[in-house]
A and B are shown apart, each in its own frame.
Chain A
Amino acid sequence: MTVRVRLTLWYTALLTVFVAAFAALVYLAVDRQLAGDLDHAVELRAVEVTQAIASAQAGRSGGSAEPLHIPTSSTLTDQPHYVQVVSRRGTVLVSSPALPEPLPITDEARQIMLDGQVTRDVLTLADDQRLALYGAPLLRDETVVGVILVAAPLWPIEQTLAHLRVMLVSAVLGSVFLAGGIGWLLASAAMRPVDQITAVARAISRSGDLSGRLPPPRRRDELGRLAVAFNELLERLDRAMAQQRQFLDDASHELRTPLTTIRASASALLRESGPPTPQPPPRCDGEGEQDAPGLPLSAAAGRGLGGGAFPRQQELRAIARESERMGRLVTDLLALARADAGQLLARRPLMLDALLVDVYQQARRQAPHVRLTIGELEQVEVHGDPDRLKQLLFNLVDNASRYTPTGGTVTLALVAHDGIAALSVHDTGPGIPPEALPHIFERFYRADHARSREVGGTGLGLAISQVIAEAHGGRIEVESRVGAGSTFTVRLPTGAAAPTVLTVL
């Protein structure tokens, strides 16, 4: 239930309770008042009748044995009250002519009156007419000789009350509906700035662009302050992210510049000290030194010179290899840090096949110990960030060649089907054990620690590849059988659109 609905419901419910209570009070008060007035009126009438009888008797000298003389004055006939005088024995002595039947009083009530008490009651006549009854003893010379009954019909009061009920109920219902409507409008108006803030926050988190701000609030009320606070928060976040990006850029620059020199220098020295060989021979396993897939000239040059130059060559190769690895580690770490900071992709139309060939060339230089081939190669255009996609594919090829023994084959292929480009990297390596498969895209995950040290990857390549694939609206699938090699397939939509932000892993 939304806050808007809850607010409205609470507001309406409270108002309903108050209005209903008020209406009930009014009703009760009116009811009381009317009933009291009627009681009073019948009592007065009874007194009048008593006095009229008394004054009629006063002119006569007869004792208590003499029958009562009841004056048939207007006292009896005046509407709207019915008057009835009953003797001690229950004989109706006189009765209002309008009264359709004798008033049906109970014997007990009559007895109470004969005992000298007054009585009040509500009677119902045969025609369902309800009457308010007032009965008093009729005294003569201190003796109760009969009973005076005065009754007034209740229908005028009942009618008034019925009207009042209708009025009150409709007033209550009306005000509840009105209150509900107004409450809804008020709640909506109050919540509108909140909706606005929500919309902006959502837009920002979707686009990753922290430069968005809420429009400055018109009033400095609670929501105005919330908007201001929200903008301040965005400002800080924006600045923090900008600082982080700046730091990453600076760190990247500071780390890469010397690495570039080291690599170029080592490469130059290797070139100078050895004859250039177009195709490095397969690397020699079983040697204590790990001859990593390094520079193309590395292996042959040293062997060509032999003897005394060999240690120097080895050292140079170590420098080249480790600086290359260091460079990759820096690149990988920065790539992940940048992905965590939500950096944007620079997407543009690009030919995936040309990109594949680029990676193929680069990987051939760096992994001369495996046979790198290109399988099926369709010409496919995608909308993507060329550097990131190149990094993605290179990481996969690098990973595959690292785990493929000397003489093995790594095959790159590209096919397109139903608007999906499938880049695949197949190797003839040892395969990935099933229990390791779910983890291979985790950062720094190593299936086999001892072996991983040997192969010398950064442990970040696959994690980065996955981030990049997902940022392009694609995904990476792995098929692997122990002993039969693995196939990594990147599926990318060939159309445009899809998310544009490298998101956090």
Chain B
Amino acid sequence: MTARLLVVDDDAAIRTTLARSLGAEGYAVDVAASGSEALQVARDRTPDLVVLDLMLPGIAGLDVCRRLRAAEQHLPILMLTARDAVADRVTGLEAGADDYLVKPFAFEELLARVRVCLRRREATTRPDRELRFADLRVDPLSREAARSGRRFTLTPTESELLRLFLQHPRLVLSRQQIFERVWGYDFDDDSKLIEVYVRYLREKLEAGGEPRLIHTVRGAGYILRQD
């Protein structure tokens, strides 16, 4: 299913360019030039993600953000701002934006953020908040985890990575897939990034001497399974 995006910006040039570029990436894109129009389109087309400029005529971007958030709790909102004044960034996040980008940005940056936001939405809208596998339980929202009664906290990156495994148990996940899902980009990476975080995860999961859950599959990737 193609994700539906709503791009809100009062600058026509940015609006059309972003719409075209995101369209070329396979997203269905709606546009809005003002706050009221944005709220209207959001109601009519129920987008999966909103790219929202902070500076809008009529209803200000922050207000739009609050109203969108009030209407739908889990709608990801990616805020764009040309002002990187501290207050703006902070109030933007407080108003419920999931992430923000300061103009001018590289399109690839926007694309990566969009992907991450959509993945997160996928996870948070699932009814089962708590993920389980064998004796492992994880709450991805609070990043609290427990294994055979031993409780521990995960860092954000560990939590994202573990959630990916828990959502696809007993399936080999390629490095490519892991990169795309956890970090939002999909090109080849020769760094030891995944190994590093898998190592951290294993350390936490096996701190009590428990058997290994995340296994390396040589030449293919990683898999979550019980031996």
Contacts and interface: CB of A to CB of B under 8 A. Distances in A.
Given A260-B14, A354-B155, 19 more contacts: A245-B85, A256-B102, A256-B104, A257-B82, A258-B13, A260-B82, A260-B105, A263-B107, A264-B18, A267-B108, A268-B24, A295-B108, A344-B86, A351-B156, A353-B157, A354-B156, A365-B106, A374-B192, A374-B196
Contacts of A361: 112, 183, 185
A150 B86 CA distance: 104
A257 B10 CA distance: 10
A345 interface: yes
A322 to B, nearest CB: 12
A263 B106 contact: yes
Interface string B180-220: 00010111111111001000100000000000000000000
Contact of A261 (B17, B102, B186): B17
A354 B157 contact: yes
B86 A268 contact: no
Contacts of A253: 55, 82-83
A170 interface: no
Interface of B: 11, 13-14, 17-18, 20-21, 24, 55, 82-86, 89-90, 102-109, 112, 155-158, 183, 185-193, 196, 200
A385 B89 CA distance: 11
Given A257-B14, A387-B84, A268 B107 contact: yes
Interface stretch (A5-13, A28-36, A271-279): A271-279
Interface of A: 245, 249, 252-253, 256-265, 267-268, 271-272, 278-279, 295-296, 323-324, 327, 330-331, 334, 343-346, 351, 353-354, 357, 360-362, 364-366, 371-374, 377, 379, 381, 385, 387
Of the listed residues B90, B104, B112, B185, the one surrounded by the most CB atoms of chain A closer than 10 A to its CB is: B104
Contacts of B108: 267, 295-296, 365
Given A264-B18, A374-B193, A345 B188 contact: no
Contacts of A354: 155-157
Nearest to B88: A249
Contacts of B24: 268, 271-272
Contacts of A334: 84
B109 A362 contact: yes
A52 B81 CA distance: 125
Contacts of B90: 346
Contacts of B156: 351, 354
B102 to A, nearest CB: 7
A272 B106 CA distance: 16
Contacts of B11: 257, 260-261
Nearest to B54: A253
Given A256-B104, A351-B155, A362-B106, A271 B21 contact: yes
A343 B55 CA distance: 21
Contacts of A263: 104-107
Nearest to B188: A279
Contact of A360 (B86, B157, B186, B191): B191
Of the listed residues B83, B106, B190, B193, the one surrounded by the most CB atoms of chain A closer than 10 A to its CB is: B106
B186 A249 contact: no
B107 A379 contact: no
Of the listed residues A296, A345, A373, A379, the one surrounded by the most CB atoms of chain B closer than 10 A to its CB is: A379
Given A252-B83, A361-B185, A379-B155, A268 B17 contact: yes
Nearest to A371: B190
Contacts of B83: 249, 252-253
Contact of A279 (B55, B82, B187, B192): B187
